[in-house]
Structure 1
Amino acid sequence: DQLVEFLSNTAVFTATLAGIGVAVIIWWFSRSDKVLEEYEVGALYVYPIKSCKGVPVKSRPIYERGFKSDRQWMVVTEEEGAFMTQRQKPKMALIQPSLPNDDSQELVLNAPGMPEIRVPIVKVDRRSQMDVYIWGDRVEAVDQGDAAAAWLTAFLSTPEEPLRLVRVLE
């Protein structure tokens, strides 16, 4: 009787151990980091202004909403605050922004046939704050000034359809 009970307990223990072993093996090979080992990042770009050219970077701090300065600015219509993309304004692809550094606190914009413009980053205040719309969702933003607006309107639009450059608030 004791021998039968011992063998029965041993069989149950062995089967349980085998089941756990199989589960561990399945878990080990299904881990997401194992899959990621097959990929390699060849280049990293940050897009300071939505729908404009990207800026190559070697590394970039990552925050909850993504890379630092990535898609932090956008072009919107002055009247409605609706954001613009390359679908509406294909020439946005020609605008080359630079990343602001901690010393300058300005965004530099270049485009073919346009003078370079240095846009000081406007801090949050009630006069410059405005609501803008991304795919119908309301977002708070800070208008980056009349000089940037005039530059964008001259390059992308007409005086009848003025545009603004805004910085999206986190």
Structure 2
Amino acid sequence: MSETKSDGSKWTVSALYTYPVKSCQGVSMDSSPVTETGLAYDRKWMIVNAKSGRFVTQRQVPRLALVRVSINAPWLELSAPSMSSVLKLPLRPKDTELGPPTKVRVWYDDVVGRCCGEEASLWLTEFVGRPMRLLYKDPDSRRLISRYAPPADLCQVPVQSAFADVHPFHIVTDVSLNEINRHVPRKLSPANFRPNIVLSAADTAAQPYDEEEWTRIEFEDTQRWSMFVISRTPRCTVPNVDLETGQMSTDGEPMASLRKFRCVDPGNPKFVCFGMQAVPSNIGQIVCVGQSLTVRERGTHSLTEPL
């Protein structure tokens, strides 16, 4: 981030999504506490290849887009069109319900997870068609994120995440998504880009991609609190997955079209980018649909090192 300047444009939270199981369907929320690792339950579980130990996403298994995830306290429930049973997992598993700690690589970080047991492994193995395991993020370990993190004197808590690719929050705006849809052959929804927070502009004159200049946004609450906007989000091939069929597109869309006009980051212009990574200034507050926020600081972003 570069030096910033104050601003005052207004936006509203129009949708919230948490993704309890990495690369499976998201869960719409009306509100959520802001935790150290994002929205409640976000990416607390992750599927790994039982043989290689590597994490698995829709890049390798597009059919994961068909796995429906429901939060019915005290259970997390997974279901899919081809599966006769519903997999029920405790939202807050006891230590005795988990396997021993094991490290798994998530991009540039070693993250400690714990196996959720044989029933989950068998369910996922049947659905995917090859041996899989389900890991739960070890609650006794932390995955600290130093890349693009704001100064420690600005953030009251160290930046960390669970099994997310990088930072704990991903933000998109409906203004930018509408602009994206003007240039791709098939209409895309927020689900194609897997944001945690979708924002709508209070001002009809708001411009597409305005969020790419934000560095700090302030949420209105009984006590105002901020998020630091860290960087653009580089996109992989997951937006090419048809969310209705669970199949990767055969024509390379929408990424083929996005590559023509969304390779915009000056630090790494080969990346297709859409959406912004963000971290909270502190935790414990509530974010909710309908909440207003103000852009307080602006600047420039450049992916000069890997996320």
Question: Normalising to structure 1: TM-score of the pair?
Answer: 0.70
Which of 124, 131, 144 is 2:95 aligned to?
124
What secondary structure does 2:136 align onto?
strand
Q: Does 1:107 align with 2:106?
A: no
Aligned residues: 133
Per-residue deviation, 1:41: 1.9
Indicate conservation of the 8 Å contact 2:99/2:116, yes or no: no
* RMSD over equivalenced CA pairs, Å: 2.1
Higher helix share: 1
Q: Deviations over 1:133-157 (max 9, x none)?
A: 2125321111111101110111013
Indicate conservation of the 8 Å contact 1:128/1:144, yes or no: no
Between the aligned residues of both structures, percent identity stands at: 38
Paired with 1:75 and 1:57, the residues of 2 have a C-alpha distance of: 23
Taking the TM superposition and a 5 Å limit, the aligned residue runs for 1:68-87 are 68-87=40-59
What secondary structure does 2:14 align onto?
coil
Counterparts in 2 of 1:59 and 1:83: CA distance versus 1, 3 Å: same
* Alignment correspondent of 1:31: 6
Q: Does 1:164 align with 2:133?
A: yes
Per-residue deviation, 1:86: 0.3
Counterparts in 2 of 1:146 and 1:60: CA distance versus 1, 3 Å: same
Counterparts in 2 of 1:133 and 1:155: CA distance versus 1, 3 Å: same
Counterparts in 2 of 1:110 and 1:164: CA distance versus 1, 3 Å: same
Counterparts in 2 of 1:157 and 1:133: CA distance versus 1, 3 Å: farther
Q: Which runs of 5+ in 1 are unaligned?
A: 1-26
Paired with 2:124 and 2:108, the residues of 1 have a C-alpha distance of: 22
Computing the radius of gyration from Cα coordinates, the structure with the larger value is: 1
Paired with 1:109 and 1:31, the residues of 2 have a C-alpha distance of: 44
Larger relative contact order (Cα-Cα within 8 Å, sequence gap ≥ 6): 2
Which of 138, 150, 168 is 2:122 aligned to?
150
Per-residue deviation, 1:57: 0.5
Indicate conservation of the 8 Å contact 1:130/1:140, yes or no: yes
Paired with 2:110 and 2:40, the residues of 1 have a C-alpha distance of: 22
Q: Does 1:65 align with 2:40?
A: no
Higher strand share: 2
Q: Runs of 4 or more off by more than 6 Å in structure 1?
A: none
Paired with 1:61 and 1:70, the residues of 2 have a C-alpha distance of: 11
What secondary structure does 1:92 align onto?
helix
Indicate conservation of the 8 Å contact 1:50/1:74, yes or no: yes
Indicate conservation of the 8 Å contact 2:44/2:137, yes or no: yes
Per-residue deviation, 1:163: 0.6
Paired with 1:80 and 1:136, the residues of 2 have a C-alpha distance of: 17
User: What is the letter of the counterpart of residue 31 of structure 1?
Assistant: S
Q: Which runs of 5+ in 2 are unaligned?
A: 143-307
Counterparts in 2 of 1:92 and 1:141: CA distance versus 1, 3 Å: same
User: What is the letter of the counterpart of residue 88 of structure 2?
Assistant: R
What secondary structure does 1:165 align onto?
strand
